[in-house]
Chains A and B, each alone.
Chain A
Amino acid sequence: MGGSDDFELLFRAEMPALVMTLRGITGDQGTAEEIAQDAFAKALVRWRRLRRYDRPGAWVRRVAIRDAVRAAARAQRSSSFDSQIREKASSSSALDPALVAAIRELPAQQRAAVVLYYLEDRPTAEVADSIGCSAATVRSHLRRARERLAEALGCTDDEGVTDDVHR
């Protein structure tokens, strides 16, 4: 099978899930697609090398998640961000719109940690690798995120992160 076919297979297999992850981090479908496309473009440029990796999709995923965290951080620094997330949260089709809205107000790294750890069941080591920090920092992000979410939602945080597989 040619390299182009390999790449297309990877793209079709991984793109939807990647966009969903990035949407959780950035809070926006369009931004998520942009970032995912850019990550795949980076992969395509160096595909001859990446295709020999055991998991080239993991490379794409890591690049995309880091880009998404940076994009989210930049967006939060912009003055219009608060109104944007409120508007998007109100139209969310999720089962728990209040929680989704609260997640979108978390700092970017905390939000990424929450999305990857709780929504996608990724172990802390993988979360750490994806967002470029230590596992200890991931646990700290998760703890602070839960505290902020609890405060925003008017309830208590009664769970810690004690191991890599949380379920």
Chain B
Amino acid sequence: MSIAERLRALHEPEPEMDLDRALIAVRRRARKRRQVRAALASGVAVVFAVVAGVGLVSQHRGAESQIGTVDRTDSTSRLDALAELLLEDDAVLVVVPDLVPKDAYSTGETYGRVTEEELVGPNRGAVAGVVRQWSQDSTTTAVGEAFTVISVVVEFETERAAAEAADATLALLPDTAAHLGTVRFPARLAMSEPGSDTTDGVGVTTKGPVLIGVQVGFVGEGDPAVLVSLIDAAESRVRPNDPPPRGFEDNDPATQARKMASELQCESTSDGAPYLDGAGPQPDAALFCEIGDADLNITVYQSQSDVADALAAVDEFCGHRAVGANWILVVNTPESARTAADALGGDPVTLSGCDDN
């Protein structure tokens, strides 16, 4: 009997499982994941650090913050957590210094791709670009040196945004040099695809609106630290040139709510007002809006004073809103509030109850 025939004849027994208990475990894990995602979206780093044990430096809207601490002995789990982060969220990242000790890669691994459908989410408008691909791999040169290749591919809305992000990435190279010991590319690399260059160093290149960032950590003396650079610095410089849509208030309330939902690119909408906001004046129109995993709520009021009353009615709670002349958008995070306010021509508002937290 050939190997193939013996393989086909193999029959492993069906596993005996308590599906009810397993389902409870799944729901518990899902809750924890939602907490992590919410914490990341709102910039609360502690939860992520506790759950994932990962040290990251996030660079978002120009503000740099240290997340957690780096445990140098467990690089694999840190990489996993990072990859998970990149795949699950719409990329708010990232600078990751000093991430991978030299023994982290003995085989090539690819962490996967973010599909088009996974790119729609509450943070999408809040970042300059979205991660299309994140991968790590290893390769060996003709002289037997092993290299680790980290690459990211980020797509921006405009070519200009990608170019500015590339410039911002290169601006980080002095920091990178401190980790790598050498940087061979003071200017943009000409690379056809991520991972195509196996020289040690860091580089970025752009192809239209796509930025490709590659870092190659050589396996030699010391730690071939890894830097994955993904920059959202372009956002603040590009967005002001895009005229924000306004004039929703010129329509009847229901039409206004629908147009606002359209502007927000809601994947689905349904009539209804949020529970808490029901404590204030009744809106003239209210829509639930679903974008990815985020539930937003658009409420249109008769007047600006109704808007003020509606906000006052819920101000004791912690929550986030984008607020316009006659409308309120209920969102989950301050970041989403800023993004929505930019998109709709309003102002981000954090309710006073958050001050107590």
Docked-complex contact B22 and A157, CB < 8 angstroms: no
A150 to B5, CA, bound (A): 12
With A38-B29, A155-B3 as known contacts, state yes or no: A74 contacts B76, CB within 8 Å.
yes
Docked-complex contact A11 and B6, CB < 8 angstroms: no
Docked-complex contact B10 and A96, CB < 8 angstroms: yes
Q: Which residues of A contact B118 (CB under 8 A)?
A: 46, 49
B356 at the interface (CB under 8 A from A): no
Which of A23, A99, A133, A156 interacts with B7 by CB under 8 Å? A99
A123 at the interface (CB under 8 A from B): no
8 A Cβ contacts from A70-97 to B: 70, 73-74, 77, 93-96
Which of A36, A46, A70, A118 interacts with B293 by CB under 8 Å? A46
Docked-complex contact A156 and B14, CB < 8 angstroms: no
Docked-complex contact A158 and B2, CB < 8 angstroms: yes
B114 to A: closest C-beta gap in Å:
12
B111 to A: closest C-beta gap in Å:
8
Q: How many A-B residue pairs have CB under 8 A?
A: 124
B186 to A: closest C-beta gap in Å:
34
Q: Which residues of B contact A66 (CB under 8 A)?
A: 112
Convert A134-155 into 0s and 1s, putting 1 for each residue whose CB lies closer than 8 angstroms to a CB of B. Answer: 0000000000001001100101
Docked-complex contact B22 and A93, CB < 8 angstroms: no
Chain B interface size range:
35 or more
B263 at the interface (CB under 8 A from A): no
A73 to B12, CA, bound (A): 22
Docked-complex contact B88 and A42, CB < 8 angstroms: yes
B30 at the interface (CB under 8 A from A): yes
Docked-complex contact A96 and B6, CB < 8 angstroms: yes
B220 at the interface (CB under 8 A from A): no
A6 at the interface (CB under 8 A from B): no
Closest partner residue, chain A, to B36 (CB atom) = A45
Docked-complex contact A16 and B15, CB < 8 angstroms: yes
8 A Cβ contacts from A55-78 to B: 66, 70, 73-74, 77
A47 to B: closest C-beta gap in Å:
8
Q: Which residues of A contact B120 (CB under 8 A)?
A: 49
A108 to B26, CA, bound (A): 25
Docked-complex contact B7 and A45, CB < 8 angstroms: no
Docked-complex contact A118 and B7, CB < 8 angstroms: yes
A159 to B: closest C-beta gap in Å:
4
Docked-complex contact B19 and A11, CB < 8 angstroms: yes
Docked-complex contact B22 and A100, CB < 8 angstroms: no
8 A Cβ contacts from B195-251 to A: none
Which of B5, B10, B22, B117 interacts with A119 by CB under 8 Å? B10
8 A Cβ contacts from B70-127 to A: 76, 80, 88, 106-107, 109-110, 112, 117-118, 120
Docked-complex contact B117 and A95, CB < 8 angstroms: no
Q: Which residues of B contact A128 (CB under 8 A)?
A: none
A37 at the interface (CB under 8 A from B): yes
B63 at the interface (CB under 8 A from A): no
Docked-complex contact A132 and B110, CB < 8 angstroms: yes
Closest partner residue, chain B, to A150 (CB atom) = B3
Docked-complex contact A118 and B8, CB < 8 angstroms: yes
Which of B2, B13, B22, B27 interacts with A44 by CB under 8 Å? B27
Closest partner residue, chain A, to B107 (CB atom) = A73
Closest partner residue, chain B, to A117 (CB atom) = B7
8 A Cβ contacts from A1-60 to B: 8, 11-12, 15-16, 19-20, 23-24, 29, 32-33, 36-38, 40-42, 44-46, 48-49
A42 to B89, CA, bound (A): 12
Docked-complex contact B19 and A15, CB < 8 angstroms: yes
Q: Which residues of A contact B11 (CB under 8 A)?
A: 94-95
Docked-complex contact B117 and A37, CB < 8 angstroms: no
A15 to B293, CA, bound (A): 23
Docked-complex contact B109 and A11, CB < 8 angstroms: no
A51 to B: closest C-beta gap in Å:
12
Docked-complex contact A70 and B109, CB < 8 angstroms: yes
A15 to B22, CA, bound (A): 9
8 A Cβ contacts from B235-285 to A: 267
Starting from the known contacts A37-B26, A41-B26, 9 additional A-B residue pairs (CB-CB under 8 Å) come to: A15-B22, A37-B22, A44-B30, A46-B292, A93-B13, A95-B9, A107-B107, A119-B12, A166-B4
CB pairs A–B below 8 angstroms (27 shown): A8-B23, A11-B22, A16-B15, A16-B17, A16-B19, A19-B17, A36-B22, A41-B26, A41-B27, A41-B30, A45-B34, A46-B118, A46-B292, A49-B117, A49-B293, A66-B112, A70-B80, A95-B11, A114-B7, A118-B7, A119-B10, A132-B110, A132-B112, A157-B4, A158-B2, A158-B4, A159-B3
The 5 A-B residue pairs with the shortest CB-CB distance in the complex, in nearest-first order: A41-B29, A118-B7, A44-B30, A159-B4, A41-B30
A residues lining the B interface (CB < 8 Å): 8, 11-12, 15-16, 19-20, 23-24, 29, 32-33, 36-38, 40-42, 44-46, 48-49, 66, 70, 73-74, 77, 93-96, 99-100, 103, 107-109, 114, 118-119, 132-133, 146, 149-150, 153, 155-159, 166-167
